[in-house]
């Protein structure tokens, strides 16, 4: 693994909302809303990709409201590249890292050859324009560049005077609440520039896509302090880190939490567990500062790429990639996104880490630092419960499922909810000779991934 110094990571930052605020807004950075509105950001989902050559932040938006009300501001260091991604990227990484609590083994006999248990599960464009170096709103504010990126108008700003920066934002329709203005001033005085983004007039919110912001080198500073804008008492954050090795938060400000698997109890009656209750207690014990690594392991770019290509090939028009108006195909756009996600990384050293936090407002008063995890040990998303309660299901009855050399079957057994065979009977889908099994795919609107037929994933 390449040695990389600690990074200042600024999780998505400020969405500055205009006067006509939305009724609801989620995962749109720190959403600034007028005082009369009751809108709160309920969570964030981000991907952070880091190599020695460049650093990229992906931010996913979920927004309900008037399109002209949406806007987003991110403190940056120097000029950055702004482009689009797809909700599918978050769906794939989410599916690959979602925690699965497995029940204690029943020690049942194996099914006959030809009958096997399976399940599939998933988790829940080039810019145009330019204009570097133009001043706007006085000599104290410089427009580094302006461009249209997909459905968004973007502008990168530099300011020598915080008052002039505030005036520029206000004069261009950004409502900056009084309690947030000092935070912006602080970033400006620390040498940050700013990326501002909003929807192009006439674009509806259905056109919104995740954005990715790329800066050269492995030292992108993305302050966490502005995430507090528009949030409630708790802000859930899920962060995926794609890098050459496992990464963690830098203590002591944000401690790394550990869950004791011996405390997990599986509930046979509804195939859930107490996992969510346990991690809630962990976060509370850290006063809302702690981060829990839920998964970390080596990761294959080509496995991800293959599954994305299957979605595009077998269900075109649903992946969320592509810009047909500008002649960019789904496949080319997806490949460009993958090239950015894994840029500068050794293919044999790539890791995917998923971290989760439920941050309190005091926690959001601090910037987040991440660093290489010293042990570089893997964290599996599969947790085998040692204890269970409720009615233990009977072992499956395989008497009806046979293999005489000419027939084979797929056994759907324990763990399938709302089915009679959970109590002991399975079902066997026998195929005629010569028919090949096909991978099972889950498509649910934009961004749901292909999930290959694999081992059973039971619900928490």
46-72 average pLDDT score? 86
pLDDT greater than 60 at residue 281: yes
Indicate whether 8 pLDDT > 50.
Answer: no
pLDDT grade, residue 27 (50/70/90)?
Answer: very low
Whether residue 443 is contained in a domain is answered as no
- 3-class DSSP state of 234: strand
Strand 152-159 to 62-64 pairing: unpaired
pLDDT at 379: 98
Strands 265-267 and 387-389 turn out to be parallel
Share of the chain above pLDDT 70, in %: 68
Write b or e for each residue in 429-445: b if 16 or more Cβ atoms lie within 10 A of its Cβ, otherwise e.
eeeeeeeeeeeebebee
pTM of the model: 0.76
Determine, yes or no, domain membership for 425.
no
Domain around 304: 7-100+124-387
The whole-number pLDDT of residue 229 equals 63
How does pLDDT run across 180-203, given as a tens digit for each residue? 778 888 888 888 899 988 889 899
pLDDT surpassing 90 at residue 30? no
In a domain, 186, yes or no: yes
- 31: pLDDT strictly greater than 80: no
**347 located within any domain:** yes
User: What does the alpha-carbon distance between residue 95 and residue 369 come to, in Å, rounded to a whole number?
Assistant: 26
CA distance linking residue 313 with residue 309, whole number of Å: 6
Identify whether 427 is part of a domain.
no
Extract the tokens encoding 66.
């008037």
Domain assignment present for residue 67? The answer is yes
- Most confident segment among 11-15, 159-163, 374-378: 374-378
Greater confidence (396 vs 418) lies with: 396
pLDDT digits (tens, 9 = 90+) for 242-277: 999 999 999 899 999 999 999 999 999 999 999 999
Query: Quick one: pLDDT at residue 328?
Result: 94
> Taking residues 222-236, what's their average pLDDT?
73
Number of domains in the chain: 1
Task: Convert the pLDDT of each residue in 371-383 to its tens digit.
Answer: 999 999 999 999 9
State the pLDDT confidence band at 406, using cuts at 50, 70 and 90.
very low
Geometric angle at alpha carbon 315, from 325 and 49, rounded to 5°: 70
pLDDT digits (tens, 9 = 90+) for 287-345: 999 999 999 999 999 999 999 999 999 999 999 999 988 899 999 999 999 999 999 99
- Do residues 79 and 145 lie in contact, with contact meaning Cβ atoms separated by under 8 Å? yes
* Confidence (pLDDT) at 446: 27
* pLDDT of 2 over the 60 cut: no
* 425-448 pLDDT per residue, tens: 333 333 333 333 333 232 232 233
Strands (E), 200-284: 211-216, 234-243, 247-249, 256-257, 265-267, 272-273
Nearest to 183 by CA among 55, 271, 74, 47: 74
Lookup: tokens for 412: 């759907």
Q: Quick one: pLDDT at residue 223?
A: 64
Residue with tokens 């931010």: 59
CA geometry: angle 249, 252, 258, nearest 5 deg: 60
- Say which residue, 145 or 421, is predicted with more confidence: 145
Question: What pLDDT score does 333 carry?
Answer: 97
Secondary structure (DSSP) of 369-431? EEEE-SS---B-SEEE-SEEES-PPPPPB-TT----SS-EEEEE-TT-TT-GGGGSB-EEEEE
> At 333, is the secondary structure helix, strand, or coil?
helix
Rounded to 5 degrees, φ, ψ at 167 are -65, -40
Integer Cα distance of 154 and 149 in angstroms: 7
The per-residue pLDDT of the chain, averaged, comes to 75
CA 443, CA 248: separation in Å to the nearest integer?
32
What whole-number percentage of the chain has pLDDT above 90?
46
């Amino acid at each position: 693994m390449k040695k990389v110094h600690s990074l200042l990571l600024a999780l998505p930052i400020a969405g500055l909302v205009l006067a006509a605020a939305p009724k609801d807004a989620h995962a749109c950075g720190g959403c600034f809303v007028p005082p009369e509105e009751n809108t709160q950001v309920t969570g964030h989902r981000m991907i952070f990709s880091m190599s020695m050559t460049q650093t990229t932040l992906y931010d996913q938006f979920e927004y309900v409201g008037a399109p002209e009300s949406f806007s987003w501001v991110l403190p940056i260091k120097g000029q950055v590249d702004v482009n689009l991604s797809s909700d599918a990227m978050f769906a794939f990484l989410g599916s690959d890292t979602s925690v699965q609590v497995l029940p204690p083994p029943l020690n049942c006999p194996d099914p006959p050859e030809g009958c096997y248990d399976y399940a599939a599960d998933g988790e829940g464009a080039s810019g145009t324009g330019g204009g570097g170096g133009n001043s706007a709103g006085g000599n104290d504010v410089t427009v580094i560049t302006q461009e249209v990126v997909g459905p968004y108008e973007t502008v990168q700003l530099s300011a020598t005077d915080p008052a002039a920066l505030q005036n520029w934002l206000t004069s261009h329709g950004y409502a900056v609440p009084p309690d947030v203005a000092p935070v912006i001033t602080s970033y400006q005085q620390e040498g940050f520039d700013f990326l501002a983004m909003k929807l192009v007039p006439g674009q509806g919110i259905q056109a919104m896509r995740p954005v990715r912001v790329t800066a050269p080198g492995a030292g992108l500073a993305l302050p966490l302090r502005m995430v507090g804008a528009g949030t409630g008492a708790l802000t859930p954050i899920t962060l995926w880190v794609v890098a050459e090795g496992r990464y963690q938060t830098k203590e002591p400000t944000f401690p790394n939490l550990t869950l004791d698997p011996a405390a997990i109890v599986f509930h046979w009656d509804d195939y859930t567990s107490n996992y969510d209750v346990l991690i809630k207690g962990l976060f509370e014990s850290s006063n809302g500062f702690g981060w829990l690594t839920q998964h970390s392991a080596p990761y294959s770019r080509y496995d991800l790429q293959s599954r994305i290509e299957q979605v595009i090939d077998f269900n075109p028009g649903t992946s969320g990639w592509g810009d047909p108006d500008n002649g960019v195909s789904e496949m080319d756009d997806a490949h460009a996104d993958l090239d950015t996600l894994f840029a500068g990384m050794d293919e044999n050293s790539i890791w995917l880490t998923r971290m989760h936090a439920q941050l309190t407002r005091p926690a959001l008063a601090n910037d987040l630092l991440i660093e290489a995890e010293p042990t570089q040990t893997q964290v599996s998303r599969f947790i085998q419960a040692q204890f269970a309660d409720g009615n233990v299901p009977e072992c499956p009855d395989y008497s009806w499922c046979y293999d005489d050399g000419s027939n084979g079957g797929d056994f759907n057994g324990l763990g399938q909810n709302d089915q009679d065979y959970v109590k002991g009977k399975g079902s066997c889908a026998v195929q005629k000779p010569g028919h090949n099994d096909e991978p099972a795919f889950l498509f649910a609107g934009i961004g749901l991934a292909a999930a290959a037929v694999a081992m059973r994933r039971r619900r928490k």
